[in-house]
Amino acid sequence: MIGTLLAILFALKVIGILHCGWLPLIIAGVCYEGLRFWVCIIKAMLETSD
């Protein structure tokens, strides 16, 4: 669970470097409605890499 959150934060940091102006919107979107979506994607990636 902690690893998943760190992966999300890392992804947000990378996105922020690429699109600084979009970062607040991305964070708001992820926190509001996209969090479960990203968690499912990251979990699937981690399970696939295992």
Q: Tell me the pLDDT tens digit for each residue of 6-43.
A: 888 888 777 666 665 666 777 777 676 667 777 888 88
- Residue 42 is predicted with a pLDDT of 83
In a domain, 5, yes or no: no
In a domain, 41, yes or no: yes
Domain that holds residue 31: 18-50
Residue-wise burial string across 2-31, b where 16 or more C-beta atoms lie within 10 A, e elsewhere: eeeeebbeeeeeeeeeeeeeeeeeeeeebe
Tell me the pTM. Answer: 0.33
- Residue 6 is predicted with a pLDDT of 83
Is the pLDDT score of 4 beyond 70?
A: yes
Is the pLDDT score of 44 beyond 80?
A: yes
Q: How many structural domains comprise the chain?
A: 1
In a domain, 37, yes or no: yes
Contact 12, 30 (CB under 8 A): yes
